[in-house]
Structure 1
Amino acid sequence: MGASFGGYLITREVGRGGSAVVYQAQSPEGGQCPPVALKVLDEQHRTAAWQTRLGREFEIAATLDHPGIVGMYRHGPFWLAMQFLGGGPLTRLQATGDRLAALAQIATALDYAHHRGIVHCDVKPTNILLPQDFPHSGAVLTDFGSAHAVVDDVHRRQPDPEVSLPYTAPEILLGKAPSAATDEYALACTAVELFTGAPPFVADDAAELVDAHLRHLPPPLPNTFGAATRTVDLVVERAMAKYPARRYDSCTEFVTELSRAIASG
């Protein structure tokens, strides 16, 4: 490695997505400063539109000061420096208690963002990371590249966000504006994947997956929770209701009901 951006010295690659690479990097201050995560647009995506998108990601996340939301430090034309989380993805958690604790922490972070007019719009397991000292420090929501500010509905609408189909709520597929309930739906899909190894709907092509989100109830869970499984199914069904108004009033309420259902087994 050894390359640098804005004085941040890259030490290793830690992740790669469709438009950017994430590196572990050393702060310009050096010394005992903790490492940072450096997100760098790849060569093909260093266009004006993608640079604007990256800058907006930084600006939205930087307005949110919450331990469950990734901290932002600095950004340049095609890079941004943020909090480094070295504990791996959410899916590495094996204990039911740890999984529920992480989901509750992310629910709290989402509710915090929603109360400030921000919808994440891309909640999924790969966008939830763990610190090395989890559970002492909680799970953290990352990647606000698709985030939506509710004020945009009044003044200006952003282009339709890129979607991660296995976690996308019906209203987004129908071209409607996202809301807090949109993130709740995605969090429910994430919870199902965390406990079963796969999101609620799995299909061979995009059209089939879209149809499932629009028309089908989430399939019953395997007998993961014994006698409590049907109760858990009902909680997930409500959080994934086709109409946003029929879902729980908050992400925290959903995870609280999910925890209560699992504990009833």
Structure 2
Amino acid sequence: MINTIPDKLGKYEVRGQISRGSMGIVYLGHDPYADRPVAIKVALSESLNDPHSGERYRKMFFNEAHTAGMLKHPNIISIFDAGTDDDNCYIVMEFIDGGQTLKDFCRVDNLLPVERVIEIVFKCAKALDYAHRQGIVHRDIKPSNILITPDQDIKIGDFSIAHINKADSTETMPLGMIGSPRYMSPEQLREDFVTSQSDLFSLGVVMYELLTGRHPFYAENFSRLVSKILNEEPPAMRGYRTELPGVLEDIFRKAVAKDINERHRMGLDLASDLSRAFDSLEGPSEEVSSQEQFYSVKNLEFFLGFPDVEIWEILRASTWQDYGMDEEIIVEGDLDDCFYIIVGGSVAVKKGGSSIRVLGKGDCFGEMGYLAKTKRTATITAEEKTSLLKINSTVISQVSMNCQVRFLKVFLRTMIHRLSTTTERLSA
């Protein structure tokens, strides 16, 4: 057991202790070669040397380095290195300065705004979708394993009990009831085979806690908890927080459906639902029939050459929004991944308070944010009553492949034309 802080672990300098948990001690370290701070997790020697569970503990400890080390995603904590130093086993990972876990925001007296929760769960769903497509199931998604950074980003960590679902994998991590019971799916509690949908069930439970400050299957003992997860429906979220929209309740119910066939199939499916829910929170638009929307969009230059069936696909995957005169649509410095097509009306493009141009019916804006998810470089304001088609990059990936290809071709052509026009104006 390490009682004092070591000076070094391998090539890494140790600067202090960050935390201590069941899987080890985490130190603040410094990588002298990359010249960056790192977090170093050191296995507990007493657990490694236990005659009954030492071998299993060692496998779980290095499983985190193996599984998470395969993943490179902005919302998953990066693993840089792993090794041994004398009797110490350690893992070197990304250091999140000033980060705190979501557990702090699962209390009734410290809840985050609804929009913020949707964004957090959206990012988690996309990160899990990425991991699942690499064949990795986390198996221990819970608030304490998700960090929120000072700049309000999120990082999923602790892949110590993750499982690799690959045909050619030689990993033999136990598939029984391992993890945190409060966040386990019914199939985990029954010790059945786990899939990506098991993680999405756990994420649904986290979402409920972030929105209400309560656990959906609260019980005073383990047997009652298991019974509730297997057999009972959780209380409605709006019973705890009346302002929550019904669409979030529907998304939660689907995420934690006891029948795996009724759940979201992949993280991207959950992310798409959350994206639509977020759009609905931005304010209801005037009622425009689907048929009216179709004919308004069909006549735009952007959609020339699109078969009717694909226009309908785009419409169903997008959000129709109406804005009044002088109402802000995009604010300079904001970060999002949406692309807008003006169906009616006009907008003013302003940068640093100065007007740059006015765009009208059929024009597009937001291309760079959609493509690169960069901060908005200008403010867009409605010049008059304006109708827009708002297209989210996550949702558009749900349409048919032919439709995606056609959309991407027109999108890129539009962006190239915009860049060419800008270059000519600057040259002049």
Match in the other structure for 1:3: 7
* Match in the other structure for 1:116: 134
**Whole-Å Cα distance in 1 between the matches of residues 169 and 8 of structure 2?**
40
**Residue number among 216, 223, 244 corresponding to 2:232 in the alignment:** 216
Query: Which whole-Å deviations, capped at 9, do the CAs of 1:228-260 have from their partners, x for residues lacking one?
Result: 2x4422221111011111101222322442454
Instruction: Give yes or no for the alignment of 1:226 onto 2:243.
Output: yes
Q: Is the partner of 1:45 in helix, strand or coil?
A: helix
Q: How has the CA–CA distance of structure 1 residues 195 and 35 changed in structure 2, closer, same or farther, with 3 Å as cutoff? A: same
Q: 1:15 aligns with which of 13, 19, 22?
A: 19
Query: Does the Cα contact within 8 Å between 1:152 and 1:158 map onto a contact in 2?
Result: no
Match of 1:142 in 2: 157
Equivalent in the alignment of 2:90: 79
Distance in 1 between the 2:22 and 2:195 partners? Answer: 25
Q: Structure 1: which amino acid aligns with 2:16?
A: R
> Which of 203, 219, 237 is the equivalent residue of 1:203?
219
Summarize the Cα distance change of 1:43–1:83 in structure 2 as closer, same or farther, 3 Å threshold: same
String of CA shifts for 1:88-139, please: whole Å, max 9, x gaps: 11345623333222211111110011111111111111111123333xxx31
Distance change in 2, residues 1:210/1:116 (3 Å): same
Equivalent residue number for residue 47 of structure 2: 45
Is the alpha carbon distance of 1:113 and 1:37 closer, same or farther for their aligned partners in structure 2, counting shifts above 3 Å?
Answer: same
Pair 1:227–1:240, CA change in 2 (3 A): closer
Unmatched runs of 5 consecutive residues or more in structure 2: 49-53, 106-111, 282-428
The alignment yields a C-alpha RMSD, in angstroms, of 2.4
The residue number in structure 2 matching 1:36 is 38
Structure 1: gaps spanning 5 or more residues: none
- Gap change, CA 1:258 and 1:133, over 3 Å in 2: closer
Classify the secondary structure of the residue corresponding to 1:37.
strand
**CA 1:198–1:259: 2 relative to 1, 3 Å:** farther
Q: State the shift of 1:11 in Å.
A: 2.4
> Shift in Å at residue 10 of structure 1?
2.6
Q: 1:189 aligns with which of 205, 209, 222?
A: 205
Which 10-residue stretch deviates more, 48-57 or 242-251? 48-57
Greater C-alpha radius of gyration: 2
Contact kept? 2:62, 2:160, Cα under 8 Å:
no
State TM-score, norm by structure 2: 0.56
Which fold has the larger relative contact order, with Cα–Cα distance below 8 Å and residues 6 or more apart in sequence?
1
Cα pair 2:26 2:39 within 8 Å, conserved: yes
CA distance in 1, matches of 2:241, 2:25: 36
Task: Confirm whether residue 239 of structure 1 aligns to residue 255 of structure 2.
Answer: yes
Provide the rounded CA distance (Å) in 2 between the counterparts of 1:216 and 1:255. 25
Evaluate the alpha carbon distance shift between residue 76 and residue 154 of structure 1 in structure 2; reply closer, same or farther with a 3 A threshold: closer
Q: Do the aligned partners of 1:240 and 1:247 also contact (CA within 8 Å) in 2?
A: yes
Of 151, 172, 180 in structure 1, the residue corresponding to residue 166 of structure 2 is: 151
Identify the range of structure 1 (251-260 vs 53-62) with the bigger mean alpha-carbon deviation: 251-260
Note if 1:98 corresponds to 2:116: yes
Q: Supply the AA of the counterpart residue of 1:29.
A: Y
C-alpha distance in 2 between matches for 1:152 and 1:127: 27
- Greater strand proportion: 2
Confirm or deny that 1:68 pairs with 2:75: yes
